Amino acid sequence: MSSRAALILKLAAAPLLFFTVFFLAPLGVVLVSSLMDASTGALSGVNYAKVLLDQYHWDVILTTFRIALFATALCLLVAYPLAWYLVRIVRSELWRRICIIVLIVPLFTSNIVRSFGWMIMLGRNGMVNDFLRGMGLVERPVRFLGAELGILIGLVYILLPFAVLSIGTALSRIDRSLENASKDLGASPAQTFFHITLPLSLPGLASGAIMVFALAASAYVTPALLSGGRVTVLSMLIYQQYSTVFNFNYGGALSIVLLVLTLALVGVANHIGRVKGER
């Protein structure tokens, strides 16, 4: 073994050990637990059969990923203009730093605190309904809490910084000379954006979408608080099995199903993006 390979192995040893101890080992424990029959203690697929052959669980799965997909789409729609403003519009470096600080400061606050804040704002007599009624947009209070709409609002607010930072990084790396060349050749601003800027920023969009979707699909605090228990997602079922029912085998099966489905959807989206990029 060469000295360079030995050095690389030594540098990678600590991260690999950390990854194995704190990720692979717990994941292996959950996987083995999910394959155990609680009544007999033998290896069995009964927990997965219970999850995958029951219509209730499929309804929860569809609700979970529907909310995650809508949250991802809304985050990207809001994040792209914000990232564009920070990278292309703002000229003052001081003002740009202030905007970034304002964007990331909420990340240092617990999701529980932020979700409670949205519970107050989205209530029947909260600020949002008071504003809507004051503007004459609605006659009766809109039901945000206990519905998917309230969960979407909370998730978009919490996950938006991840999408903005990812897209902003991609936009800042685009060679502006390519856009200038497009304009010199007679392309309109819209044509330049859709044929030059947007395709080159797709890696940032993709990475932001993956982060937001994965976090939204596995979110527990925000859906639990803003739904009031009226909307059930997979993470809430998993929490119930581990903390209330103490059925660790069934909870492990739910956890593995959530992990596998999330990775599968992310993999499909990544493959589609790669194929489109090659075209």
221 contacts: CB under 8 Å, gap ≥ 6: 111, 112, 115
**What pLDDT sits at residue 1?**
54
**What pLDDT sits at residue 273?**
63
What confidence tier does 69 reach under pLDDT thresholds 50, 70, 90?
very high
Residue 38 lies in a domain: no
**Which tops the pLDDT comparison, 220 or 5?**
220
Q: Please, are residues 266 and 213 in contact by the beta-carbon 8 Å criterion? A: yes
Token pair in block for residue 193? 């954006």
d(CA 39, CA 145): 39
SS3 assignment, position 36: strand
Residue 4 lies in a domain: no
Residue 274, pLDDT above cutoff 70: no
Q: How many CA atoms, within 13 angstroms, populate the side-chain half-sphere of residue 153?
A: 21
**What pLDDT sits at residue 83?**
94
Residue 164 lies in a domain: yes
Q: How many residues does the chain have?
A: 279
> Residue 221 belongs to a domain with what CATH number?
1.10.3720.10
Residue 215 lies in a domain: yes
Mean pLDDT of the chain: 87
Token pair in block for residue 33? 């637990």
pTM for this prediction: 0.87
- In the chain, the number of structural domains is 1
Residue 27 lies in a domain: no
Residue 248 lies in a domain: yes
- Full residue range of the structural domain in which residue 199 is found: 54-173+186-278
d(CA 171, CA 200): 8
Residue 268 lies in a domain: yes
Whose structure tokens read 């809001």? 78
Residue 82, pLDDT above cutoff 80: yes
What tens digit of pLDDT does each residue of 150-208 get?
999 999 999 999 999 999 999 999 888 888 888 888 888 888 888 888 888 888 898 89
